[in-house]
Structure 1
Amino acid sequence: MSNEIAVLAGGCFWCLEPVFSQLKGVNAVVSGYIGGHVDQPNYKQVCTGETGHAEAIQISFDPQQISYAALLEIFFLSHDPTTPNRQGNDVGTQYRSAVFYQDEAQKDTVNALLDNYRRENTFGAAPVTQVLAAVEFFPAEDYHQQYFAKNPGQPYCLAVAAPKVAKIQAKYAALIKP
């Protein structure tokens, strides 16, 4: 079994991590930071918007069980790819929509999907998702890892993350782990 990596940024990692952790074929999801100019950034630094990093998740997945294209479809359904530097009330460059591709095949897959979304006007506005070559990914502090699973009653999790998780469970029931 050969795992592949996907790195996606689409707002707060507390919301993205539980969406992907529930999927068959996903072996691990790590919350962290990518795309900035500070070595070993921390949450407080990234929240200033001055490091250039995006909050992101690094997904280790088995492509025999779930395709990269399926992960991307779920990613685009689980956040708003049409708002630059914003997801709901979370505003700043750290909340931008971005895909950090690992190789040319991933780059081609995401670009083809985005072209299709633009052509079909899937979101009612053009996606502003950045498509960037992967750079060093820095795992977030331990308390951010599996935050939703550890804090399901936290108000932000209830109001923002839980509806995203439920939306994916409803649309992709066959891909949800038992």
Structure 2
Amino acid sequence: MLYIVLLLVLAALGLLVPALTTTQTHWAWLSVGASAAAAVVLVLDWWHRRRTGPTPAAAGTTAERIDQRAEPGGRPAPEDDTSTSPDRAGEPAEEDTDAADLLIVAELSDEIRVLDERPRYHLAACSWLDGRASLGLPIAEARQLGFTPCAVCRPDSTLAAGKRAAGR
């Protein structure tokens, strides 16, 4: 969709040149029309993404199935480490990911949750996310963007364990 918008904006710019160099106003109106079409495409793309929500493949990810088995409330089992408690003022610690888990997670496309302007990615059932607006991303994209795993919900080890269990 963004390529279509880019082409429409470039067309509008191309139509603006003859509108400014000639006295014919139909070039200017064509430029305005191309700009309006680009705006309509952007709005339609936004509406379509908002309406569809998460992708169907990510709706029943391995991580969510494992989290639902962890505790009746759907939350992962609590850790004894006090540094991973859900502190509302600061960030949770970074999960110490095992190298074997990292190799497995690098191949996954499961959806995880991120908070804008925060460095960690989380499972959907992470207790640290309670009441916070989060964005869904594929785990590979989140890692590529520089997000690191949360130590509260331990997404890397949970997803790797789920992948291992599914592979058996």
Mark yes or no: TM-score above 0.5.
Answer: no
When you count strand as a share of all residues, which structure comes out higher?
1
* Higher normalized contact order (CA 8 Å, seq sep 6+, divided by chain length): 1
Comparing both structures, which one devotes a greater share of its residues to helix? 2
Larger-Rg structure: 2
What is the TM-score with the length of structure 2 in the denominator? Answer: 0.24
